[in-house]
Amino acid sequence: MAAWPRYARRNPTLAFGLALLLALGLFSLVGPLFDSSVRSQPLSVPPSLPPSFGFPLGTDRAGRDLLAVMITGTPLTLWIGLVGGLMGLLIGTVLAFVSGYYGGVVDSVIKSVVDVGLTVPSLLVLIIIAVSLRQGLTVNEMALVVGSLAWMWPARTIRSQVLTLRERAWVQMAQLSGMNGPEIIVKEMIPNLAPYLASALAGAVATAILAAIGLEALGLGPMNSPTLGMTIYWAIYYSAVLQGMWWWWVPPIAILIVLFVGLFLVATGLDEIANPRLRRAV
């Protein structure tokens, strides 16, 4: 039996999560077949049509084919989450290793900043940042806004792992062998934390997407880009629920549910790899 099917049986959570994310990726790749870049623009099709053979997900009041909007908006939302999550994880990882490995005053300062930052409602801060950048906000700027506060939780959780690894015998042997701090971090500690960092990345991406959806639902996102959050915003703006236009708001919510479930399962499966106590028997 091939290695991947055998491992998928051992870790079905990770396999199913990856399958969901792969399905979303393939869904995004069929855009050119439907000319989604054109049909997702306003006034490209007749407005307010329910689902039919010609328009499987119907159209909205702005005259956009909602299937094309979903195909175009899904990768944009994934891009925002990926950039924001990577940015948060990178900053959080650097601060966590500096704080957890070296300790002392640096550790106290970073720990205090993170603890204080986590007590502040992040959505409120993101709203203030987004409002100040409202003019000409793009998808990339949205990703940077979301990533600006996505580093605090990874910094705390990764720091706790670093504190544990710092006391391991192999780290002390590396110190005695003459390796300096950066070498120990890069060559010894990061490889051992790779599964945990990958799990943290999946969680950071989900958090970044959730923050972006919150901002976009308030009308603070990229107004000219058909992201999933902006689709929900326009559905709210035009009272799609009250008008019975369920086909306007159900598809983006369904895609987001699949996305969040996939990211959660991937994070759980990777955490199973990182934590020996959670590993399944062969």
Structure tokens, 22:
């792969």
Predicted pLDDT of residue 281: 44
More confident position, 273 or 233: 233
What mean pLDDT is predicted for residues 199-211?
91
Residue 282 to residue 195: CA distance in whole angstroms: 19
**First-to-final CA distance of the chain:** 13
1-5, 120-124, 192-196: which range is least confident on average?
A: 1-5
Structure tokens, 196:
């945990």
7-16, 29-38, 94-103, 182-191: which range is least confident on average?
A: 29-38
What mean pLDDT is predicted for residues 18-22?
91
Predicted pLDDT of residue 8: 59
- In the chain, the percentage of residues whose pLDDT exceeds 90 is 31
At residue 54, does pLDDT exceed 70?
Answer: yes
Residue 171 to residue 185: CA distance in whole angstroms: 9
Predicted pLDDT of residue 184: 87
The rounded mean pLDDT for the chain is 85
Chain-centre distance of CA 76, in angstroms?
Answer: 12
Burial string for 192-221 (b: 16+ CB within 10 Å, else e) reads ebebbbbbbbbbbbbbbbbbbbbbbbbebb
Predicted pLDDT of residue 136: 62
What mean pLDDT is predicted for residues 9-22?
86
What mean pLDDT is predicted for residues 55-83?
91
Q: What does CATH list as the number for 56-278? A: 1.10.3720.10
Q: Is 65 helix (H, G, I), strand (E, B) or coil?
A: strand
Under the banding of pLDDT at 50, 70 and 90, the label for residue 262 is very high
| For the chain, domain boundaries | 56-278
63-67, 217-221, 224-228, 269-273: which range is least confident on average?
A: 269-273
